[in-house]
Structure 1
């Protein structure tokens, strides 16, 4: 048996532990299943793609681009407290 160790964000590990425990296995078993499937398929056993922004995010990106081109578009602030006050009210 070989020992493999790797680093993972604490929050992600906790989420993975909870998920795999609900599925009746531990993290080691889950990774072993992943690696066996990868070897069997000779590749990653699922599609890997970039996260595509949703329509709301795309609209926000377009809005920022417009604000860069035309500084009078939108509202600007010189006082962070006033900005936060307006945002939260």
Structure 2
């Protein structure tokens, strides 16, 4: 890629996301442009996102537990000790 002219791009993003990202990148010693270039180079290297991009929808067990919690059912604790927690888990 050496010898090719630089170019620019304009993107829109949420202001808070931008500010949070800038703070993180600053702590890593880079600016937003450098961070985006790192991301793009990694995307090229991996021929896609350089990390997993998935939707994790709650499964039926999780949905059931969330519903029970909202309804105040099957609630346990608080526990005064680890042993009382373990007793409750072993007797469930």
TM-score normalised to structure 1 length: 0.60
2:50 alignment counterpart = 45
Query: How far apart, CA to CA, are the structure 2 residues paired with 1:29 and 1:4?
Result: 13
1:2 alignment counterpart = 7
Which stretches of structure 1, 4 residues or more, deviate above 2 A after TM superposition? 51-54, 57-60
* Structure with the larger helix share: 1
TM-score normalised to structure 2 length: 0.58
2:29 alignment counterpart = 24
5+ unaligned residues in a row in structure 1: which ranges?
68-89
Aligned residue pairs, count: 62
Q: Once superposed, what is the RMSD of the aligned Cα atoms?
A: 2.4
